[in-house]
Structure 1
Amino acid sequence: MKKVLFATSALVAFAGAASAEVAVSGDARIGMRYDSDLCANAACTTTDSAWNVVNRARVKFTMTGTSDSGLEFGAEVRAEEAQRARYGSQFSIDETDGTIVNTYAIRNGLSADKGIVWVSGTYGKLTAGDIDSGMENALGDLPEIGMSGLDYLNEFGYSSSDFDDSLYSEAGLLYEYSINGVKLFASFMDQNIGYSAIDRDNNAYSLGAKYEMAGYEFGIGYEKSDFYIDPVTFAGIPYENTSWGISAATVFNEVKVKGIYVTSTVKDIPTLTGDLDVDQFGVGAEYKMANGVGLAGYWRRVAYDTPADEFTADIVGVGASYDLGGGATVKGGVVNVSGDDALGSSLSDRTMADFGLVFKF
């Protein structure tokens, strides 16, 4: 595939070596997706299987610059984020107990929908916007499966990170610093809904470190959040929680293997008359052949421990891809979810699958 990039590069020279540049890139996908258990009514008392068309096209603007003193800075925004930043976003929530009742239009939009901005220098890099938390940067996630991500269940639940893109798209701050082969991360998220009068008095803090040595990569992280994100349903509950986790990765005969473990404690949930303990663990593998064929798979288990009972959920995903060259890739995958959620409600035996083309411009 021949790619034509309409990029605007504005190289502006001031005193010294100061410069700025704006580049345009994009991505797109087209294909089909299958779901075995979609809600067939508003109460979701019955489910049905269905095929759906998947398509998406995004344009991304990346702006970079350097000051006279050597300070590097930049910003990145997608076209739809620029529109929301100007005209605002819309969400529904009740002010008292979180029940969806009223719809509010936020004039200035949700802050993570306004792209990301960063500055970088001798003492590290600071990024604001739709960031991954310090803990997620250190531990990471398992391989993504499918053309559309298939609900991105390869991703572990990080309450200090997933709040921004799973619920209210709130922005965070991420600080990164590298020294002697160790990458350090620290993040903060205010978990406040845009600039509206409706405030959620919740914060999230996260720390992480990553170290590479002799072909091995190790990560460790800690987070504290006032709002917990369930790692299977990605629903949120407003209770204080703390988590810590570790990860390890390496490559055997061109197969990249990774394992992650995260444990969390959610404090004083009234409906459970006590704490909720959640353990997440999983392994994943990726293999890319010289002929352009790629294979990937993962297994995740989430174990819930309440004062009254224990529940588990298992997630398995397998996928394949073929690089057509020039930025085009054929991708497909299958993901199965089974078991129970945090309250013991059955997740059924849900299967998702997709197949299609992914493009990079």
Structure 2
Amino acid sequence: MKKVLFATTALIATAGMAAAEVKISGYGRFGLDWNQANDGLPNNTDEADAAGEPSVSDAEETSITSRFRLTFDASTETDGGVTVGGRIRAQAESRDGVAGVANWSAPQFHVAYGGLRVNVGNIWGAIDSAPGLYLNTTSVGTGIDGMGFNSLAIGNGFNWDTFTSAGNGRNGVEAIYSVGGFTGHISYSKQNDLYESDGTDTGPVAAATRVEGEERTAVMLSYSFGDYFVTGAYQDSNVVANDELGFFAVGGDFGQFGATVSYGTTDASDSITLAGDVELGAASTIVAWVNSADQNTAAGRDGTAFGINYEYDLGGGVTFVAGAVSSHADDNENSVQAGLHFSF
């Protein structure tokens, strides 16, 4: 689909100073979201706990989902041809009838020369950058907002490094090298250690136990040849649930058709996703997928989920989007969304 970039560019050209460039881009999305009740009770009916008191209430069966995002990119180039720049993002959203808080991201800085780029700060992450991990849709999932991203072959709750709009992110470092059809990506992040009270000291300074912050190292290798690609990624972590995370995908385009097979393995579950897309005429695209997951631990996904996404390009960066998902839940809970996505 054609993406129209509306950018504000500031060029500063003075003697002895390289040109600087500032761009503003982003997108907005809004639509209706219908969800099946999660507890078998009518929506908005409070469940009663063991004492007879109301506990968790369902979200509205039909609500509005929306997001507005602005991305600010700035860069300059040294006399030796090295690009130095940074990125920051602002975002506000609403889901399931609950208005979200507007957030500013932590910054990402980069230095690039030739095919090598090094990012510092709010990094992208090697796993999150793997081709074939996400769907080829406006939300990179199903529907307006991804609808739970049941299509992902890795089902550990996004416990890998990724650029985030909400706060500090992982605050790491990564290197990306691309030449021809090859891309290599390695990322590293380390959270601060924490100190938790052990409850044994009643004095003014309580005894504390040091809890080591999570340390992640990930690598991704990808190669594209013509209309086809193959990619593999792996994450090592000192947190067992996020350690030995693996991903592999192959895919390609066959004229108006496309297909991807991806496999993910985690401590919680192993799963495989088959996704296919077809272009209908010049403006319509349908993406359908099915994911099968085998649960390894109580927290893992288990069973089969499937979904379908339809998009119609209205021109000017505006796309009509509709999607439906049946999740991995025991009763295969269903969700449907429809709305508009516009990029600038």
- TM bucket normalised to smaller: 0.7 to 0.9
Partner of 2:259: 257
- Tell me: CA distance 1:174–1:55, structure 2 relative to 1, closer, same or farther (3 Å): same
Partner of 2:111: 119
1:242 deviation in Å? Answer: 0.9
Written as runs of structure 1 = structure 2, the 5 A alignment for 1:235-314 is 239=241, 241-264=243-266, 266=267, 278-306=269-297, 312-314=302-304
What are the superposed Cα offsets for residues 151-180 of structure 1, whole Å, 9 maximum, x if unpaired? 233333453336968998433322101235
1:13 deviation in Å? Answer: 2.5
- Tell me: CA distance 1:179–1:327, structure 2 relative to 1, closer, same or farther (3 Å): closer
What are the superposed Cα offsets for residues 206-257 of structure 1, whole Å, 9 maximum, x if unpaired? 01100112432011121112346xxxxxxxxxx4621223110111232121
1:287 deviation in Å? Answer: 2.3
- Measured in 2, the distance between the counterparts of 1:57 and 1:138 equals 25
- Measured in 2, the distance between the counterparts of 1:168 and 1:20 equals 26
Written as runs of structure 1 = structure 2, the 5 A alignment for 1:325-336 is 325-336=315-326
Structure showing the higher helix proportion among its residues: 1
Matched, 1:352 2:344: no
- Tell me: CA distance 1:338–1:244, structure 2 relative to 1, closer, same or farther (3 Å): closer
Written as runs of structure 1 = structure 2, the 5 A alignment for 1:109-148 is 113-122=105-114, 124-143=116-135, 144-148=141-145
- Measured in 1, the distance between the counterparts of 2:34 and 2:273 equals 24
- Measured in 1, the distance between the counterparts of 2:313 and 2:193 equals 41
One-letter amino acid of the counterpart of residue 272, structure 2: F
For 1:69, what is the secondary structure of its paired residue? coil
What are the superposed Cα offsets for residues 278-328 of structure 1, whole Å, 9 maximum, x if unpaired? 21211112223343111111111221235x9x9723221101011110111
- Measured in 2, the distance between the counterparts of 1:336 and 1:166 equals 28
Q: TM-score, normalised by structure 2?
A: 0.74
Matched, 1:205 2:217: yes
Cα pair 2:133 2:249 within 8 Å, conserved: no
For 2:105, what is the secondary structure of its paired residue? helix
1:121 deviation in Å? Answer: 0.8
For 1:11, what is the secondary structure of its paired residue? coil
Partner of 2:85: 74
Percent of aligned positions with the same letter in both sequences?
21
Unaligned stretches of 5+ in structure 2? 40-44, 50-54, 93-100, 136-140, 195-209
Cα pair 2:106 2:168 within 8 Å, conserved: no
- Tell me: CA distance 1:51–1:244, structure 2 relative to 1, closer, same or farther (3 Å): same
Cα pair 1:147 1:357 within 8 Å, conserved: yes
1:59 deviation in Å? Answer: 2.3
- Measured in 1, the distance between the counterparts of 2:57 and 2:238 equals 34
Task: Provide the aligned length of Structure 1 versus Structure 2.
Answer: 298
Cα pair 1:29 1:357 within 8 Å, conserved: yes
Query: Which of residues 306, 312, 315 is equivalent to 1:322?
Result: 312
For 1:133, what is the secondary structure of its paired residue? coil
- Measured in 2, the distance between the counterparts of 1:313 and 1:165 equals 32
For 1:338, what is the secondary structure of its paired residue? coil
- Tell me: CA distance 1:193–1:290, structure 2 relative to 1, closer, same or farther (3 Å): farther
1:74 deviation in Å? Answer: 2.1
Matched, 1:35 2:35: yes
Partner of 1:62: 73
Cα pair 1:145 1:334 within 8 Å, conserved: yes
Partner of 1:236: none
Written as runs of structure 1 = structure 2, the 5 A alignment for 1:165-180 is 169-180=169-180
Partner of 1:9: 9
- Measured in 2, the distance between the counterparts of 1:240 and 1:141 equals 17
- Measured in 2, the distance between the counterparts of 1:311 and 1:334 equals 19
- Measured in 2, the distance between the counterparts of 1:52 and 1:186 equals 40
- Measured in 1, the distance between the counterparts of 2:122 and 2:38 equals 29
- Measured in 2, the distance between the counterparts of 1:304 and 1:31 equals 33
- Measured in 2, the distance between the counterparts of 1:163 and 1:313 equals 30
- Tell me: CA distance 1:249–1:336, structure 2 relative to 1, closer, same or farther (3 Å): same
- Measured in 1, the distance between the counterparts of 2:191 and 2:164 equals 8
Unaligned stretches of 5+ in structure 1? 82-89, 91-109, 229-238, 267-275, 340-345
- Tell me: CA distance 1:37–1:119, structure 2 relative to 1, closer, same or farther (3 Å): farther
Could you say what the CA RMSD is over the residues aligned between the two structures, in angstroms? 3.5
Q: TM-score, normalised by structure 1?
A: 0.71
For 2:148, what is the secondary structure of its paired residue? helix
